[in-house]
Structure 1
Amino acid sequence: MAIGSPTRRVASRQVLADHVYDELMIAFVDGRLEADQPLNIDALARDLEVSQTPIREALARLESTGLVIRAALKGYRVAPLFSSDEIVELMDARDVLEPENAFRACARSSEDLVQRLQVTITDLDRSLSEDDGTGISPYWQADERFHRLVAEAAGNRFLLAAYNALGGQVQRFRLFGGIGVSDAGSAIAEHGTILEAFRAGDPDAARAQMHAHIEGVRTRAVADTHRAR
């Protein structure tokens, strides 16, 4: 038996699964895969020119994030649009976690963190002013970077793990919440007030402004969901 060959096979399979995962995420972001759309493993394997194994592995990873769901005897499909109740529950969870992250991150903030947060806000604004019809992707990417920077800067591995556990559902909300970027102006302004608290070195204000931001997202998302339906 060739030494190391099983490891190489596993590594190669993992690379393929990672590639498939990345390709599917891109398809979610650019709208080629829409909410509640069936996902045919055979068709995906043909489109991506891989075997079914990395497709199944990538779909299993996506299932754990909430971006895809699997039903017995029916296979995989893209997660459906959020209901109003689901949006409220998700925002409740974020409101428990993210203001605390903001408080802790601000208490141990640095000029570098402030600058990096500012870059995300600049990128949010630029993604809208330079919109070419595909601007939703850079907008959500910049929004995610802002919240992730705060979570990582909080300096608590368990709070970060909790944030990461919510990550797939937050991505699902962003991609399939039915609201697009209709609240962009408000979100950019709210990110700005959080940043000002970081600049002032005021953890209590950072916590309060993050709470206000999550509450604002909740209110706008529920209203937009009702209008979309």
Structure 2
Amino acid sequence: MTARIDKPRTVNRQVLADHVYQEVLASLMDGRLMAGAGISIDGLARELDVSPTPVREALARLEATGMVRRVALKGYSVAPLFSAEDLAQLMDARLVIEPVNAFRACERRTPALNQALAQAITDLRTAPRGVSFAEFREYWEADERFHRLIAESSGNQFILSAYNSLGGQVQRFRFFSGLGVTDAECAIEEHTAIFDAFTAGDPKQAQRAMVAHISGVKQRAVKDVADHA
């Protein structure tokens, strides 16, 4: 069951859409909307006390992440949990794209970018890592922000498009529901190594550090699947 949204008498349409998106995302991450199950737009709208429109918009956004799937004439369903092979393939795709992002972004680094990366790492260190999505959402958001800052600073629109098309980074965090974030210390250390290369102005080291990070995430992600089997 998704959480009912307490709406003020008047609410900005975009604010409402974002709230609905966040509520549906939380339901997916916590398993309240079960993997493989069909999704009733009207049912979600009633639960959240909103019209069907923001629910449709939320589901369209979530389709791009791979969290939900849409079939013509059948509507939306919750995507299955990734298998170990799915996660390995996702990480292999990230290994193609993100080290290049790190190299190029480090070449183009600015004090503002370095400051933003440092803040993302600080937020990773201080974010809760509890068992529900509400408890580890800030950690996920800081992790996503760190990687997106680098991707958006690479200066290559085609690489950025490829990065955006992966979408599935959020999928790995589905395995943290009920466990909490399982690899925070390793991930923070790896992010810090990437950041150190940026502060040193060493694009090749930034690239190597990103390879090490994504490779580490790959190994840990496969273990997460095994732990949930």
Structure 2 equivalent of residue 138 of structure 1: 138
**Are 1:209 and 2:209 counterparts?**
yes
Letter in 2 for 1:97: I
Mean CA deviation greater in 39-48 or 131-140: 131-140
Cα displacement (A) at 1:220: 0.8
Aligned length: 216
* Match in the other structure for 2:170: 171
| 3-state DSSP of counterpart to 1:65 | coil
Where do 1:29-68 residues align within 5 Å? 32-68=32-68
TM-superposed CA distance for 1:84, in Å, is 0.6
Q: Give the CA deviation at 1:55.
A: 2.8
Q: Aligned in 2, Cα 1:204/1:59: closer, same or farther, shift over 3 Å?
A: same
Q: CA RMSD in A?
A: 2.7
Q: Does 1:150 align with 2:164?
A: no
Higher helix share: 1
Whole-Å Cα distance in 2 between the matches of residues 55 and 227 of structure 1? 33
1:105–1:154 contact (8 Å) kept in structure 2: yes
Name the CA distance, whole Å, in 2 between partners of 1:111 and 1:52.
44
Residue identity in the other structure for 1:139: Y
Give the letter aligned to residue 173 of structure 1.
R
| Structure 2 residues without counterparts, runs of 5 or longer | 1-11
- For 1:118, give the aligned amino acid: A
Return the offset for 1:77. Answer: 2.6
Normalised by the size of structure 1, how large is the TM-score? 0.82
- Equivalent AA in structure 2 for residue 116 of structure 1: A
CA contact (8 A) 2:29 2:173 kept: no
SS at match of 1:66: coil
Question: How far 1:127 moved relative to its partner?
Answer: 0.9
Q: Percent identity over the alignment?
A: 55
Gaps of 5+ in 1: 1-11
Q: Output the amino acid matched with 1:190.
A: E
Distance 2:176 2:131 in 1: 21
Q: Is the 8 A contact 2:176 2:182 kept in 1?
A: no
Q: Distance in 2 between matches of 1:79 and 1:61?
A: 14
TM-score of the superposed pair, with normalisation by structure 2: 0.82
Distance in 1, Cα, partners of 2:77 & 2:136: 22
